[in-house]
Amino acid sequence: ITELLVPMPPDWSFPSAHTAQATAFFLALSLIAIRLLPPFWAGLIALLSLLIIGTVGYSRVYLQVHFISDVLAGMVLAILVVLAMQVVIPLLPWQQGK
């Protein structure tokens, strides 16, 4: 009974990779949905994505495996990467005619 369900990591990591990955995936999913789906479904996917991202971030702090700053840094990093991809992908040679 004294053992933790989730073992504590040997060291703290910055930023939170779980949060960064969830943010990048669900932000990209939301952006694709906004482009391809009717507004109701795109909005629903964006809302659910926001809830999942928030839940992942909260879980990292709740389980005491990250500080809030780690989670926020993971979110910011992922947002910057997804936005950079929004700029870079249209510039790729095979995307020029689209």
Tell me: pLDDT of 55 over 60: yes
C-alpha–C-alpha distance, residues 92 and 80, integer Å = 19
The reported pLDDT for the residue numbered 49 is 98
Q: What's the pTM value of the predicted model, to 2 decimals? A: 0.79
4-42 residue pLDDT tens: 676 665 666 789 889 999 999 999 999 999 999 999 999
- Residues with Cβ within 8 Å of 80's Cβ and at least 6 positions away in sequence, in order, are none
Q: List the domain boundaries for the chain.
A: 17-95
The reported pLDDT for the residue numbered 93 is 84
Comparing CA positions, the residue from 1, 30, 33, 6 lying closest to residue 18 is: 6
Regarding predicted confidence, which is higher, 46 or 8? 46
